[in-house]
Structure 1
Amino acid sequence: MSTHHPAPAPIGGRLLNPVTLVCGVLIAIMATILLVRMFTGLGAVTHLNDGYSWGLWVVVDVMVGSALACGGFSVALLVYIFNRGRYHPLVRPALLASLFGYTLAGAGIFFDLGRWWNFWHIFWPGYVNPNSVMFEVAACVTAYILVMWIEFSPVVLEQFGLKVAKQKLEKVLFVFVALGVLLPMMHQSSLGTMLVIMGSQVHALWQTPLQPVIYLLSAIVLGWGVVLFESCVAAAGYRRSIEVDLLNPMAKIMLGAIALYLAVRAGDIAARGVAGLAFEPTWAALWFWIENLAFLAPFLLIRTAEQRRNPARLFLAGVAVMAGGSLVRLNGYLITFNSGPGWHYFPALTEVLVTAGMFAIEVLGYILITRRFPVLPREPAAAA
Structure 2
Amino acid sequence: MSTHHPAPAPVGGKLLNRVTLVCGLLVAAMAAILLVRMFKGLGYVTHLNDGYAWGLWVVVDVMVGSALACGGFSVALLVYIFNRGRYHPLVRPALLGSLFGYTLAGAGIFFDLGRWWNFWHIFWPGYVNPNSVMFEVAACVTAYILVMWIEFSPVALEKFGLHVAKQKLEKFLFVFIALGVLLPMMHQSSLGTMLVIMGSQVHPLWQTPLQGAVYLLSAIVLGWAVVLFESCVAAAGYRRSIEVHLLDPLAKVMLGVLALYLALRVGDLMWRGVLGLAFEPTWAAMWFWFENLAFLAPYALIRTVQQRRNPANLFLAGICVMVGGSLIRLNGYLITFNSGPGFHYFPALTEILVTAGFFAIEVLGYIVITRRFPVLPREEPAAA
**TM above 0.5:** yes
* Secondary structure of the corresponding residue to residue 194 of structure 1: helix
**Aligned equivalent of 1:365:** 365
**Aligned equivalent of 2:72:** 72
Percent identical among aligned pairs is: 87
**Aligned equivalent of 2:272:** 272
* Secondary structure of the corresponding residue to residue 47 of structure 2: coil
The whole-number CA distance in structure 2 between the counterparts of 1:269 and 1:279 is 12
Listed as ranges, the matches of 1:29-40 within 5 Å are 29-40=29-40
TM superposition score normalised by structure 2: 0.99
**Aligned equivalent of 1:130:** 130
RMSD: 0.7
**Aligned equivalent of 1:166:** 166
The whole-number CA distance in structure 1 between the counterparts of 2:333 and 2:88 is 35
The whole-number CA distance in structure 2 between the counterparts of 1:295 and 1:84 is 25
* Structure 1 residue 381: Cα displacement: 1.4
The whole-number CA distance in structure 2 between the counterparts of 1:4 and 1:169 is 22
Listed as ranges, the matches of 1:1-384 within 5 Å are 3-384=3-384
1:131-177 CA deviation, whole Å, 9 max, x = no partner? 00000000000000000000000000000000000000000000000
* Secondary structure of the corresponding residue to residue 157 of structure 1: helix
The whole-number CA distance in structure 2 between the counterparts of 1:278 and 1:296 is 16
1:283-339 CA deviation, whole Å, 9 max, x = no partner? 100000110111100000000001000000000000000000000100000000000
* Structure 1 residue 2: Cα displacement: 5.8
The whole-number CA distance in structure 1 between the counterparts of 2:116 and 2:202 is 27
* Secondary structure of the corresponding residue to residue 171 of structure 2: helix
1:112 partner letter: D
* Structure 1 residue 382: Cα displacement: 2.3
The whole-number CA distance in structure 2 between the counterparts of 1:108 and 1:65 is 10
1:241-288 CA deviation, whole Å, 9 max, x = no partner? 000000000000000000000000000000000011001100100000
1:29-56 CA deviation, whole Å, 9 max, x = no partner? 0000000000000000000000000000
The whole-number CA distance in structure 2 between the counterparts of 1:3 and 1:145 is 30
* Structure 1 residue 343: Cα displacement: 0.5
2:86 partner letter: R
The whole-number CA distance in structure 2 between the counterparts of 1:275 and 1:90 is 38
The whole-number CA distance in structure 2 between the counterparts of 1:164 and 1:350 is 47
* Secondary structure of the corresponding residue to residue 172 of structure 2: helix
1:158 partner letter: E
The whole-number CA distance in structure 2 between the counterparts of 1:117 and 1:219 is 31
* Secondary structure of the corresponding residue to residue 368 of structure 2: helix
The whole-number CA distance in structure 1 between the counterparts of 2:336 and 2:10 is 45
1:375 partner letter: V
The whole-number CA distance in structure 2 between the counterparts of 1:150 and 1:16 is 29
The whole-number CA distance in structure 1 between the counterparts of 2:2 and 2:17 is 37
* Structure 1 residue 4: Cα displacement: 2.7
* Secondary structure of the corresponding residue to residue 53 of structure 1: coil
2:6 partner letter: P
* Structure 1 residue 383: Cα displacement: 3.8
The whole-number CA distance in structure 1 between the counterparts of 2:85 and 2:324 is 28
The whole-number CA distance in structure 2 between the counterparts of 1:268 and 1:275 is 9
> How many residues of Structure 1 are paired with residues of Structure 2 in the alignment?
384
The whole-number CA distance in structure 1 between the counterparts of 2:367 and 2:233 is 11
The whole-number CA distance in structure 2 between the counterparts of 1:235 and 1:381 is 10
The whole-number CA distance in structure 2 between the counterparts of 1:203 and 1:301 is 31
1:219-258 CA deviation, whole Å, 9 max, x = no partner? 0000000000000000000000000000000000000000
The whole-number CA distance in structure 2 between the counterparts of 1:6 and 1:179 is 27
The whole-number CA distance in structure 2 between the counterparts of 1:176 and 1:167 is 15
* Secondary structure of the corresponding residue to residue 266 of structure 1: helix
The whole-number CA distance in structure 2 between the counterparts of 1:356 and 1:292 is 25
1:74 partner letter: S
TM superposition score normalised by structure 1: 0.99
1:210 partner letter: L
The whole-number CA distance in structure 2 between the counterparts of 1:264 and 1:2 is 36
1:261 partner letter: Y
Any runs of at least 4 consecutive aligned residues in structure 1 with deviations exceeding 6 A, and if so which?
Answer: none
* Secondary structure of the corresponding residue to residue 299 of structure 1: helix
* Structure 1 residue 3: Cα displacement: 4.5
